[in-house]
Amino acid sequence: MAETLTVNRVPDPAAEHHEDPHHATRWLILAVIALAQLIVVLDATIVNIALPTAQEALGFSNDNRQWIVTGYALAFGSLLLLGGRLSDLVGRRPMFITGLVGFAVASAVGGAAQNFEMLVGARVAQGVFGALLAPAALSLLTVTFTDASERARAFAIFGAISGGGGAIGLILGGALTEYLSWRWCLYVNAPLAIIAVIGAALLLKKQAKPEDAKGIDVPGTAVVVAGLVSFVYGLASAETDGWSSATTLICIAAGLALLAAFAVIESRVKDPLLPLHIVWDRNRGGSFLVVAIVGIGLFAVFLFLTYYVSLTLGYTPLKTGFSFVPMILGIMVTATGSAGLVSRIGPKIPVLVGMLLAAVGMMMFAQLDLTSTYAANILPGLIVTGLGVGLSMAPAFSAATSGVDAEHAGVASASVNTFNQIGGSIGTAVLSAFAATATSDYLVGKAPSAANQALAAMHGYTTVFWWGAGIFAVGGVLCGALLRPGPVSIDPDAAPVLGH
């Protein structure tokens, strides 16, 4: 009898996780990670609406204005891989908490800025600490959820926040600017970060560093940081100096050359910063491309649709922010609702359908004109674009970090954020240049009247939306071809090293 009971005993799920001190609190940990991700993502857009007011208060030029945004992107995008490596080497818990504390301090300094230099310095510091925080957050999520169905739900929530955080930033930025001050667009990060730090300190357990921990790839780190900074700087310079300027061409060429050198270095060093097998895997490579393209496309929506509703339709900052709510809801619906589907069939079909949906949404924006209304012409595009972005972002984040051993979870997570950030930087430069060219071309041979100026600006916006539609459509086909059919494999050895 006893023997029969032993043989037929149902396994105790709790026993399977006895080595994982965080399994019981995994959903609370997800809440802390989600809050940290929201802080990083919304900060990419929360200052957009506040920029005109900040510019008036501190008295800096239009040419300098872009560096409030680009300074953050430069530091964040170029240091993410190093942040991911430090997360694997030093530990996810200490890097997560350090990133949050540093981000809070930098935000407080930025809110108190008395001049342009102080504000830019604070934004750069935010980027530096964000580069420590973001990989640690995503890699903690990666090694916390190893059950396929739970993992799909967790990444769905994470993807919804990553996709919708920019729109949330616009709403929050509009409300804070209109009712308090532009400074609160920076101050607001401090209390949010403090809440996340308290949650992390209480929920994340300190664990010993693995005995086989490897060192930092110094040559690779130096080359990739220099390459990304040069590349992003060149793209940013194109907006003001033009694509044919010496600064633009030299910086972009130098950046690409350095990134090529980085790939060579990584194939030869003993402990690479970015093991190339992480990138060459079809699912991860396709997922990196997805998040980069979504970064480009979302920039077109957030920036140029913001310009349209605020400058052309005359919306207040708060009304401008709230106009994006339907897109947030669309992202949340498909990102969270598709979790079960992705766990069963994998990311290939959801990503393809999602990006094609986003392309349709951009085509709808391309039909806007000076007499368009929100309900009839803007709202449908926001809903369709949101549904598409949510359907593609969540499975991409999951697939990009699945199947990676726990030792490389941090650098794989950093790579996702790097591609997303670089995609946004490319979108900033390329689409802004396209808009400027289309606007100036429209005015050729026409009187510079107010009516023609408004029509020219409208032509610039719709040109960008058409480009965004094309980028989403081509990207969807490419990513759909790259991603493997079927569910993504999960590394069963990831969970035991959660706390590291």
What CATH number is attached to the domain comprising 179?
1.20.1250.20
Q: What are phi and psi of 341, to 5 degrees?
A: -65, -45
Q: Which of 370-374, 459-463, 486-490 has the lowest mean pLDDT?
A: 486-490
Cα–Cα dist 319/374, whole Å: 11
CA distance 22 to 87: 18
> Is the per-residue pLDDT at 75 higher than 90?
no
- Give the pLDDT of residue 62: 63
Residues 233 and 361 reside in one and the same domain: no
Name the nearest CA neighbour of 69 among 50, 88, 53. Answer: 50
CA distances from 59 to 53, 65, 68, 124, 477 (A): 10, 10, 13, 19, 46
Q: Mean pLDDT, the chain, as a whole number?
A: 80
Report d(CA 214, CA 221) in Å as an integer: 14
Question: Is the predicted pLDDT of residue 431 greater than 60, yes or no?
Answer: yes
- Is residue 223 included in any domain, yes or no? yes
Looking at the predicted structure, is the pLDDT value of residue 207 above 80? no
Is the full-model pTM beyond 0.85? no
Q: How many domains does the chain have?
A: 2
For residues 458 and 485, state if they share a domain: yes
User: Of 234, 250, 272, which residue sits at a domain end?
Assistant: 272
128 and 261 together in one domain: no
CA distance 201 to 193: 12
* Angle, helix 379-401 to helix 450-482, in steps of 10 degrees: 30
pLDDT value at 281 more than 70: yes
CA distance 254 to 258: 6
Full domain range(s) for residue 104: 22-216+273-497
User: Among all chains, which residue has been given the structure tokens 């530096």?
Assistant: 128
Is 279 in the same domain as 229? no
Residue 13 within any structural domain of the chain: no
Count of all residues that appear for the chain in the document: 500
pLDDT computed for residue 11 by the predictor = 42
DSSP state of 373: -
Alpha helices in 43-147 (DSSP H): 46-58, 62-90, 92-111, 116-144
Q: In the listed set 205, 237, 272, which residue is the last one of a domain according to the structure?
A: 272
pLDDT value at residue 19:
56
Residue 177 and residue 94 share a domain: yes
Q: What is the pLDDT of residue 387?
A: 92
